[in-house]
Structure formats: C-alpha cells, structure tokens
Amino acid sequence: MADPEVAARSEDDAEDVRLMQLVSGGDATALEQLIERHQALVAGTVARMLGSNSDVEDIAQQVFIRVWKSAGRYVARAKFTTWLLKITRNLVFNEMRRAKRHPHLPVKIEPEADEIPLKDEATAAPDATLLQAELQAAIEKAITLLPETQRMAIVLRRYEELSYEEIADVLDLSVPAVKSLLFRARTELRERLKIYLGR
C-alpha cells in the first residue's frame, strides 16, 4: 500500500515543477504562488542560519529573485525544494562570509515598558516556562556558533525535518558525510549545552 505522506509530497513536488514551468515562461503569478508555498521554509532556514538580527527578509527575497532568473535553466532532477534550498544555502553562506569580513555589532533592542512580560500568578510554574525559553535561546545561540555546513545540516534536520538523503542533495555531500557532519554538530552542541543538560 502506498504511503499517503509520500504521495502527498510527490503531488506537492509535481505542483512545484508545474509552477516552475510557468515561471520559466515569464508567469509572475506562478512565481507568487511558489513564494506563498515556500516562503516559510526559506525565511525560517535563513533566520536560523543567520540569527534574528539579520536581514532575513532581504535574503529570502534574493532567493526568489534567483528562482525567477534561473527558471529558464531549471531542470527537475531533484525535488524542487532541494533546488530551492541549494539557492538558499549559497546566499546564506555568502552572507555569513561577508559578515565575517565586515563584522558589525548587533543592535540590541530594549523592550518597550508595556512589552515587559508581567508574572502571571495564575500560570503554573512560570519558572519552568522561563527555563524552557532560556534553553531554547541557548540552543539557537549554540547552533549559530557551529561551522556553516554543520549549522545548515542541523537546521535542515531539526527544524525542516529533511531526510539524510535530502540534506545530502542540498549540501552536495554523500549520506555518510551528512551523518558524520550531524554527529560532530550534535557533539559540539551537547558540549556547549551541558550546563542545561545536567551533565
């Protein structure tokens, strides 16, 4: 019996390919539909790779400009999202290298007085919620300290739930290389987060 999830994924991919064929003919409406379908994937990946202080929207927009410009050369060899994530990877890695060459201090935005969360006495265990938020922030910070390829592998696996094969396609690596990359990344993350993990 066919796996319904796999069937739905291949239907999604077939729709992406159909839209790309229209885009390659200059159909701007088809591009808008592709943006609607994949904006969350692209923007989410960019934000997790570069951190929330970055120009996430600008880079996500550049990804779709590349899609538009490359549409005529697009060949559906792999899943559309794999191709899209390769474009995202290239732009993100370029941005990371540019930021290394021209470091700037991140702007720390102080919360407005009315935005400061007040302790809600009715909420059970606010300390646990605070710890969870602190742990999440620590995980995200630790991920941004990983080397770029390890970071991309972790983001695609943890947040986008891609398979090893899909990550290998996006990063132009073999599946064993991806597994090794993820192992090293997780080891480093565990080391950085050991104060939270109680070891």
Rg of the chain over all Cα atoms, to the nearest angstrom: 20
pLDDT, tens digit (0-9, with 9 covering 90-100), for 146-175: 999 999 999 999 999 999 999 999 999 999
CA angle 150, 192, 104 (to 5 degrees): 70
Q: Give the list of residues 6+ apart from residue 25 with CB closer than 8 angstroms, or none.
A: none
Q: How far apart are CA 32 and CA 64, in angstroms?
A: 9
Q: How far apart are CA 199 and CA 194, in angstroms?
A: 5
Q: Can you give the pLDDT at residue 181? A: 95
Instruction: Report whether pLDDT(18) > 90.
Output: yes
Q: Can you give the pLDDT at residue 197? A: 73
Residue 168's alpha-carbon distances to 15, 67, 78, 85, 135, in angstroms, are 23, 21, 12, 11, 29
Domain boundary among 49, 77, 107: 107
The domain tally of the chain equals 2
Specify the CATH number for the domain of residue 180.
1.10.10.10
Residue numbers of the domain that contains 99: 1-107
Is the domain of 95 the same as that of 151? no
Specify the pTM: 0.78
